[in-house]
Structure 1
Amino acid sequence: MARDDTPLGSFLRSRREKVDAASAGIVDHTRRRVRGLRREELALLAGISPSYYTRLEQGRDRNPSREILEALARTLGLDDTERAYLWSLAAPSLTPAQPDMATSRTVRSGVEYLLHRWRDLPAFVVSPRRDVLAGTDLAARVNPAWNAGRNLIEFTFLDPRARQVYPDWKDITLQAVAGLRATAAARRPEVDALVADMRAQSGTFRALWDSHDVYDRVMGQKRIAVDGAGVLRLDFETFALAGSEGHVLYVYFGAPTSPDERKLDELARSMQSPDSPR
């Protein structure tokens, strides 16, 4: 059977294969030879024509209606991030115009000033393709990946230090790729070259990218092995900076009164010389 590797078709197929048929209400007394739902089963559950769904997944129809997209999202159990990703693939003409690439790599002077003032927090700004554009001195001290000029994806998959820096490296890789995919559809010109390069250089990245998992973590916690300080368990929050550049500010911190907060404070104090100009 013909297969079309359009982004929309690949995403729909990957989500269909993850749905448990029995949980979806499919009664099948035969030995199933496919993962998840068959095309005709998904079409039936979504209330659309099996032949139309086949054309959609194979890339022979690329203009589904709002009603069809909503029916598919509901049947596949997509969360908000996956639903937004589905829409960005199915209706790319509705995505915002892309900013100039050079502009997207420039951090506003006011943001740079704030980062300079935040001496006791690991904080940094990334572009849609996960380039670190600016950060606090403490960010670079805590994690070499959080240094201006680095790329978070390249560090995670290609830098041998990543497995030492991230005790939970496997989880980090899953989150990194799923988050990048959440960004990719809306800002493809900025992300495509990175994805192609990473697919060529890292089999792990390629396998995760081809799994089509997509979600965006706006907050969470990571364990970071910090040279001279041991493993710190740091929470983080993200803040989308206003503007067309798509910049995101990451801020890491230890839980209040925790040993991690104390160690982070000690690191910050050790970097501050009373004689250094501020």
Structure 2
Amino acid sequence: MARSELGAYLTARRAHVTPAQVNLPATGYRRVPGLRREEVALLAGVSADYYVRLEQGRERTPSAQVLDALAAALRLDEDGRLHLFRLAGLGPHARTGAPAVADRVEPSLLALMDAWPHNPAIVYNRAYDVLASNTIADALFHGWAHSRNLMHAVFTDPAARTFYRDWYDVARNAVAGFRLGYGAAPDDWRLRHLLAELLHHSPEFADLWAHHDVRGKALERKRFEHREVGPLTLTMQTFDVRSAPGQELVVYHAEPTSPSSDALTLLGSLAATSRRES
């Protein structure tokens, strides 16, 4: 029987937990730096044979109690735990097909975004398709000349390695966020198509996808190198759009009185001028 997504996820996660992290002796030869299967079974309070069946895909219906124990043993955070439950068919929308994400962005949200002339703001869906953006966001992302899909922008645009000054960190977080969304709607045609496309065209994406990292968007800083205004360090805040589950709003801002704030103000002025002239 082919290994299940659940089994692949368990295998990947135990490779990232060392014996020292869970107060186990690191004895004997280890083919991987992480935990052995029998060690995960011991920590979770299940038999080694049962855990092996889970990883090999011969057992696919663990109980919620077993999943809780495995999440604790593998030191999963809330996003990782949610993903684990979804893969086992016990999370919201798991395997049953989540409702399609609406492509329409509420007019009131569009008006709010337009009221932020100095704060780039975008709305995207689970596939990272940018559904809406304000004028300064368009300027920040160079008019979306390469693609209005952020995964494409990161992994298939050669200029991304310069634009994102910490490209690898951006790429790793993007894949972890994409996997979380994919777990919420594994039957979504757009997600499946984009996944196949990226696996085929981007070895870097394929490598990161094999790590099985899962992480939702959180407060973080990104460093850009913009061809018109130079370096920018921006903090990004991410919000779920409650009126359209699956959509997320991202808003960027710079520290007041910082060089990045000055650069962002200049970018806003350039964007406003370009908009008036067009």
Correspondence 1:3-152 to 2 at 5 A: 4-91=2-89, 94-95=92-93, 98-100=98-100, 104-144=102-142, 150-152=148-150
CA distance in structure 1 between the aligned counterparts of 2:159 and 2:35, rounded to whole angstroms: 41
CA displacement 1:170-196 (0-9 Å, x = unmatched): 111111111111111002214222111
* Count of aligned positions: 273
Amino acid in structure 2 at the alignment position of 1:141: A
Which moved further from structure 2: 123-132 or 214-223? 214-223
Q: Say if 1:122 and 1:138, in contact at 8 Å, map to a contact too.
A: yes
TM-score scaled by length of structure 1: 0.90
Shift of the 7–223 alpha-carbon distance from structure 1 to 2, 3 Å rule, reads same
Q: In the aligned structure 2, how far is the partner of 1:252 from the partner of 1:235?
A: 5
Shift of 1:217: 2.6
CA distance in 1, matches of 2:113, 2:146: 12
Q: How far apart are the structure 1 equivalents of 2:156 and 2:200?
A: 11
Residues 78-227 of structure 1 mapped to structure 2, 5 A cutoff: 78-91=76-89, 94-95=92-93, 98-100=98-100, 104-144=102-142, 150-188=148-186, 189=188, 190-227=190-227
Matched-pair identity in %: 37
What's the Cα RMSD here?
2.3
Distance, in Å, in 1 between the alignment partners of 2:105 and 2:275 is: 28
Structure 2 residue identity aligned to 1:109? P
> In the TM superposition, what is the alpha-carbon distance from 1:200 to its structure 2 partner?
0.5
Instruction: Quote how far apart the aligned CAs of 1:22 are.
Output: 3.6
Q: Contact conserved, 2:85 with 2:91, CA < 8 A, in 1? A: no
Change (3 A) 1:47 1:146: farther
Q: Check the 8 A contact 2:238/2:249 in 1, yes or no.
A: yes
Contact preservation (8 Å) 1:135, 1:146: no
DSSP 3-state at the match of 1:124: strand
Give, in whole Å, the separation in 2 of the partners of 1:245 and 1:31. Answer: 47
Q: Provide the C-alpha distance between the structure 2 equivalents of 1:6 and 1:34, rounded to a whole number of angstroms.
A: 21
Q: Which amino acid in the other structure matches residue 185 of structure 2?
A: R
Secondary structure of 1:84's partner? helix
* Contact persistence 2:147–2:153 (CA under 8 A): no
Amino acid at match of 1:65: S
For residue 263 of structure 2, what is the aligned residue in structure 1?
263
TM-score by structure 2 length?
0.90
Q: Structure 2: any 5+ residue segments left out of the alignment?
A: none
Answer whether contact 2:230 2:263 (CA < 8 A) is retained. no
In 1, Cα distance between equivalents of 2:90 and 2:249: 26
SS of residue in 2 equivalent to 1:154: helix
- Give the unaligned 5+ runs of structure 1: none
SS at structure 2 position matched to 1:78 = coil
1:218 partner letter: A
Inter-partner Cα distance in structure 2 for 1:273 and 1:34: 57
When residues 93 and 68 of structure 1 are mapped into structure 2, their CA distance, relative to the original with a 3 A threshold, is closer
Q: Distance in 2 between matches of 1:31 and 1:197?
A: 39
The amino acid that maps onto 1:192 is R
Moved more, 183-192 or 21-30: 21-30
Q: CA deviation at 1:95?
A: 1.7
Distance 1:145 1:132, change over 3 A: farther
- Give the Cα separation in 1 of the matches to 2:267 and 2:10: 47
